[in-house]
Structures are given as structure tokens and as C-alpha cells.
């Protein structure tokens, strides 16, 4: 989807399908608004009525309870009406009937579609067909995009490092299949000024050479994270181990797992991130995941805040409409 397709004629954001093409100002403004919704663990969750009268449909076609709950709570805490649906949207499965489902929901006055689908292109396809007042927010699209994850990663980095430029950030694991790596590395962090981004993976999990432009590549975790301010670990799907040259299970951990010993190669104040769910003992040692340099749970809290901010920004014209 071309960049301009995410915007309204006045340049404001209508859909959020990818972070590609967002300006630094736009990303910073999203993060600033998100920061207003961040609460410490134990404090009351943020609540407002900013989306009162707006209807949000969570359409998750992949099983992802935690991300669904994150979006569901974000919408509910803004006062929206929320419905959850498990619908198979993939165009190869259902053809035009997929769009008929979307049009039906639109006719039921669904204003915002939160879409998660394993097939590339589905969110853009939906966005290109819905009525002008309707917004689409991607909750994860195949291996290509996961914009709110990229934003929450950037917010987490900023909370700890106060800036993104001048940092060394290493992303470790299954880069090739990771929408998280694409959204965070290529779009959010890059746009916010990070130049030293390293992607670290076994050869078979490296992306095509044309992708991740400007990122240093390393097939050794020790080399890759050396001196890093931020170590972002990725989940490795166990399916990857079959029929490949990728070392499986314990072997993967031995070669690419983040241990305390390896983390010592990074800067002493480096933070450790993971988008979850984690395979403890495969890509990350449990002690590191729970250790003092882990900010993994904070990423989750930032996730709701970022999703609230994204919903508010996309649905701003709807909220204004209601107030009339």
C-alpha cells in the first residue's frame, strides 16, 4: 500500500497499516500521546470517554489471545463499544465473501477495524474498500508489518534511553520472518534517528539482501550485540527448525540464545526486549528475561498505551462527530 493511502486528504492519519512513510513528527506525536496513557503497575489503568459512541471490531484470524486482549482493553478504556470476531479474512480462503463480511460490519456501524491476518495485503485490501469514515488498524500482518509493536518498542527505548539517535540496537533471531523486526528496525527506530541497527541471525533466517537497508548483519550473537544499548530478541517459531540448517532447540540456545554471559558483551546499561510470547531456554535464558535489564513487561504496558493513542488519532474525526 502506498504511503498516501494511509492518510486523509488533509494529510491526517486515517489507517495505520505500516509505519513506513510516517514522519518523525508523526511518530513522536503518537508516542507522546501514548506516554500520557502509561501507568505504573499497580496504578489505576487509564480511562477516558474519548471513543464513546465509536464501535471497534477486533478481527483476529490468527490465535493471539494476548494481542487481542491488549486491543480490546485499549478500546474499552477509551469508552468504545467493542466486538470480538474470529473470522478468516484471507482472500485465498474466501474470496469476495471476505469483503462481504467487512461490508456487513461496516453497515452495522463498525467504525474501526482492528485486523490480524497471516496473509500479506489483507489490511490494505480492506482499507482500500471501506467507507471514508472507517479506519483500519493492523494488529499484525503476515511477516511484513506490526505497527503498534514497532511503536511500543520505540516508546520503551525512549523511556530508558531518552533518545533513539546515537544508540546501537541489535535485533536477534528470526529476522527473516519477523514483522516485529521490520516495523521496529526499518521504520520506527530508523525514523527516530537510530543509525546503528544490527540484525543478528543464523544465515537461514537472514532477510533478503534488499531488505533492512543500512543495517549491519551478523551471524554471531556475540559480535552482533557487542556494545549495544538495546538488545531486542525475537521469538523463534519451532517450525523453523524442521528441514533447515537452523540449529534446533538446545542447539539454537547454545548458538543464539541470550544468556547473561552474552549480555555482558553489550553495554552495561543495555536493556533487553522481547515481543513475546517467549521460548525460554530457546531464544532467551529465563534468568535474563526476568533479570534487572529486562524491560519485557514494560513493553506490554506500553502496548496498551500505544494502542489507545493509535485509536484516538485514527478515530479523532469520529469522536468529533459524536460530540456534535
Interacting residue ranges for a second copy, rule: CB under 8 A: 39, 41-45, 47, 53, 55, 57, 65-66, 69-70, 72-73, 76-77, 81, 83, 85-87, 95-97, 100-101, 103-109, 111, 131-133, 276-280, 286, 297-298, 300-301, 303-304, 318, 321-322
Work out how close the CB of 223 gets to a second copy at its nearest, in angstroms, rounded to a whole number: 29
Rank residues 111 and 153 by Cβ distance to a second copy and give the closer one.
111
Work out how close the CB of 321 gets to a second copy at its nearest, in angstroms, rounded to a whole number: 6
Cβ atoms of 219 and 200 within 8 Å: the answer is yes
Measured CA angle at 24 (ends 23, 30), to 5 deg: 95
Work out how close the CB of 70 gets to a second copy at its nearest, in angstroms, rounded to a whole number: 6
Rank residues 268 and 324 by Cβ distance to a second copy and give the closer one.
324
Which residues are CB-contacts of 298 (< 8 A; sequence separation ≥ 6)? 156, 159
Work out how close the CB of 195 gets to a second copy at its nearest, in angstroms, rounded to a whole number: 31
Work out how close the CB of 2 gets to a second copy at its nearest, in angstroms, rounded to a whole number: 24
Rank residues 154 and 168 by Cβ distance to a second copy and give the closer one.
154
Rank residues 191 and 279 by Cβ distance to a second copy and give the closer one.
279
The single-letter DSSP state of residue 184 is: I
Alpha carbon distance 175, 189 (integer Å): 15
Rank residues 176 and 240 by Cβ distance to a second copy and give the closer one.
240
Rank residues 21 and 79 by Cβ distance to a second copy and give the closer one.
79
Rank residues 132 and 268 by Cβ distance to a second copy and give the closer one.
132
Alpha carbon distance 152, 275 (integer Å): 10
Alpha carbon distance 6, 3 (integer Å): 6
Work out the angle between the directed axes of helices 24-36 and 296-314 (0-180°, nearest 10): 110
Which residues are CB-contacts of 215 (< 8 A; sequence separation ≥ 6)? 185, 186, 197, 198, 199
Q: How far apart are the first and last CA of the chain?
A: 33
Alpha carbon distance 228, 268 (integer Å): 9
Work out how close the CB of 53 gets to a second copy at its nearest, in angstroms, rounded to a whole number: 5
Work out how close the CB of 211 gets to a second copy at its nearest, in angstroms, rounded to a whole number: 29
Alpha carbon distance 102, 98 (integer Å): 7
Rank residues 218 and 301 by Cβ distance to a second copy and give the closer one.
301
The closest of 171, 173, 186 to 228, measured between CA atoms, is 171
Residue 28 CB burial class (10 angstroms; 0-12, 13-18, ≥19):
middle
- Range 294-298, long-range pairs (CB < 8 A, 24+ positions): 295/156, 295/160, 295/271, 296/272, 297/41, 298/156, 298/159
Work out how close the CB of 25 gets to a second copy at its nearest, in angstroms, rounded to a whole number: 29
Rank residues 20 and 283 by Cβ distance to a second copy and give the closer one.
283
Work out how close the CB of 304 gets to a second copy at its nearest, in angstroms, rounded to a whole number: 6
The C-alpha cell that represents 81 in the structure block: 463499544
Amino acid at each position: 500500500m502506498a504511503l498516501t493511502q494511509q492518510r486523509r486528504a488533509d494529510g491526517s492519519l486515517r489507517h495505520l497499516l505500516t509505519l513506513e512513510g510516517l514522519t518523525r513528527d508523526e511518530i513522536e506525536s503518537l508516542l507522546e500521546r501514548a506516554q500520557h496513557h502509561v501507568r505504573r503497575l499497580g496504578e489505576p489503568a487509564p480511562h477516558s470517554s474519548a471513543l464513546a459512541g465509536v464501535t471497534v471490531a477486533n478481527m483476529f484470524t490468527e490465535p493471539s489471545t494476548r494481542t487481542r486482549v491488549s486491543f480490546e482493553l485499549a478500546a474499552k478504556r477509551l469508552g468504545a463499544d467493542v466486538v470480538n470476531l474470529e473470522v478468516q479474512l484471507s482472500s485465498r480462503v474466501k474470496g469476495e465473501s471476505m469483503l462481504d463480511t467487512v461490508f456487513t460490519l461496516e453497515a452495522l456501524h463498525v467504525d474501526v477495524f482492528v485486523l490480524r491476518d497471516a496473509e500479506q495485503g489483507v489490511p490494505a485490501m480492506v482499507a482500500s474498500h471501506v467507507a471514508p469514515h472507517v479506519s483500519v488498524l493492523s494488529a499484525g500482518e503476515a511477516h511484513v508489518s506490526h505497527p503498534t509493536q514497532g511503536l511500543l518498542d520505540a516508546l520503551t527505548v525512549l523511556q530508558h534511553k531518552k533518545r533513539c539517535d546515537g544508540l546501537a540496537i541489535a535485533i536477534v533471531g528470526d529476522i527473516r520472518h519477523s514483522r516485529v523486526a521490520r516495523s521496529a528496525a526499518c521504520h520506527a527506530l530508523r525514523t527516530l534517528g537510530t543509525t546503528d541497527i544490527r540484525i543478528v541471525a543464523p544465515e537461514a533466517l537472514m532477510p533478503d539482501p534488499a531488505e533492512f537497508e543500512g543495517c549491519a548483519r551478523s551471524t554471531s550473537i556475540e559480535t552482533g550485540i557487542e556494545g549495544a544499548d538495546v538488545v531486542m530478541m525475537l521469538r523463534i517459531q519451532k517450525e523453523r527448525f524442521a528441514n533447515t540448517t537452523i540449529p534446533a532447540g538446545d542447539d539454537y540456545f547454545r548458538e543464539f540464545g541470550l544468556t547473561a554471559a552474552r549480555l555482558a558483551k553489550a553495554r552495561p546499561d543495555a536493556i533487553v526486549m522481547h515481543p513475546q510470547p517467549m521460548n525460554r531456554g530457546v531464544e532467551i535464558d529465563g534468568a535474563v528475561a526476568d533479570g534487572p535489564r529486562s524491560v519485557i513487561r514494560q513493553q506490554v504496558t506500553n502496548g496498551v498505551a500505544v494502542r489507545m493513542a493509535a485509536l484516538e488519532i485514527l478515530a479523532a474525526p469520529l469522536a468529533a462527530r459524536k460530540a456534535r
